[in-house]
């Protein structure tokens, strides 16, 4: 990555973040319009990717309930459609932070080892939580409402039949289901796999974790994920 790459990246990220601003899918309090969220993600994808890649992503997301799943069972965006809203917020945060982080990174000796486009950033952010698509079922519990009457209240619960190879790793594998060519973009897969930091690592994976922090996209995605949840409440 060099100065020219950075200038091109700045232009790309500015153009894509304008789509978010124009559509206004997510408000400051973390509430969102599910249809606007979906439309914004697909508009961004169409602006960054060839049609065949956008079609593959869209087909995968529809099939796996990406646009209707929650982002968690009881934490951030724990409502229907929350996964897509959280993912879009991470996309936005990633694109906003990218010029600043990469302008600093290109001053280091590792700059020549990495080269990213806005499309790579978009893909990493969009797919970082693919493992949560269709991951939850809707259950009901008996509880008292504010009037003291017993009612059955819906809540999300992890499906007992799920098989998961790890939060980040599972998401990376799911990206490869729809865009297998990303097997050749290891830095993108590293960012997806390590976006949770130390909290999602086995002892063996922790052994060389610091090496992954040499990849600026790992740092970018971790920052975007945390700020989406803690600043935007989404």
Model pLDDT for residues 33-78, shown as the tens digit of each residue: 999 999 999 999 999 999 999 999 999 999 999 999 998 777 677 8
Tokens (6 digits) for 31: 């509430």
CB neighbours (10 Å) of residue 28?
Answer: 8
Tokens (6 digits) for 32: 């969102």
Phi-psi region of 162 (alpha: psi -120 to 50; beta: other; left: phi over 0): beta
| Residue 192 near residue 171 (C-beta atoms within 8 A) | yes
**Per mean pLDDT, which of 72-76, 112-116, 203-207 is the most reliable?**
112-116
Nearest to 129 by CA among 78, 204, 55, 192: 192
- Helix ranges (H only) for 106-161 are 118-127
| Residue 9 near residue 117 (C-beta atoms within 8 A) | yes
| Residue 115 near residue 102 (C-beta atoms within 8 A) | no
CA distance 164 to 166: 6
Q: Containing domain of residue 19, as a range?
A: 3-230
Say which residue, 158 or 94, is predicted with more confidence: 94
User: Could you give the number of structural domains in the chain?
Assistant: 1
Q: Could you tell me the CA-to-CA distances from 215 to 12, 220, 227 in Å, in that order?
A: 20, 9, 19
3-state secondary structure of 137: strand
Q: How far is CA 38 from the centre of its chain?
A: 14
Tokens (6 digits) for 36: 């606007």
pLDDT interval class at 137 (50, 70, 90): low
| Residue 49 near residue 121 (C-beta atoms within 8 A) | no
Report the percentage of the chain scoring pLDDT > 70.
Answer: 88
pLDDT interval class at 172 (50, 70, 90): very high
Q: Is the pLDDT of residue 204 over 70?
A: no
Quote the pTM value. Answer: 0.90
CA distance 114 to 97: 17
Q: How far is CA 205 from the centre of its chain?
A: 21
Q: Is the pLDDT of residue 146 over 90?
A: no
């Amino acid at each position: 990555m060099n100065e020219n790459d950075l200038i091109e990246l700045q232009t790309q990220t500015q153009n894509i973040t304008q789509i978010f601003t124009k559509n206004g899918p997510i408000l400051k309090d973390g509430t969102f319009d599910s249809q606007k969220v979906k439309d914004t993600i697909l508009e961004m994808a169409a602006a960054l990717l060839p049609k065949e890649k956008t079609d593959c992503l869209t087909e995968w997301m529809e099939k796996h309930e990406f646009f209707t799943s929650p982002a968690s069972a009881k934490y951030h965006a724990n409502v229907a459609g929350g996964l897509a809203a959280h993912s879009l917020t991470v996309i936005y945060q990633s694109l906003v932070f990218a010029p600043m982080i990469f302008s600093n990174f290109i001053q280091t000796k590792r700059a020549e080892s990495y080269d990213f486009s806005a499309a790579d950033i978009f893909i990493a952010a969009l797919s970082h939580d693919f493992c949560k698509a269709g991951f939850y079922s809707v259950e009901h519990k008996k509880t008292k409402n504010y009037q003291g009457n017993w009612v059955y209240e819906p809540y999300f619960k992890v499906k007992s039949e799920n098989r998961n190879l790890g939060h980040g790793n599972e998401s990376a594998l799911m990206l490869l289901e729809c865009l297998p060519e990303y097997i050749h973009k290891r830095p993108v897969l590293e960012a997806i796999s390590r976006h949770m930091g130390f909290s999602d690592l086995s002892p063996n994976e922790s052994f060389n974790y610091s090496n992954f922090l040499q990849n600026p996209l790992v740092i970018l995605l971790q920052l975007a994920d945390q700020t989406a949840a803690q600043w935007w409440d989404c």
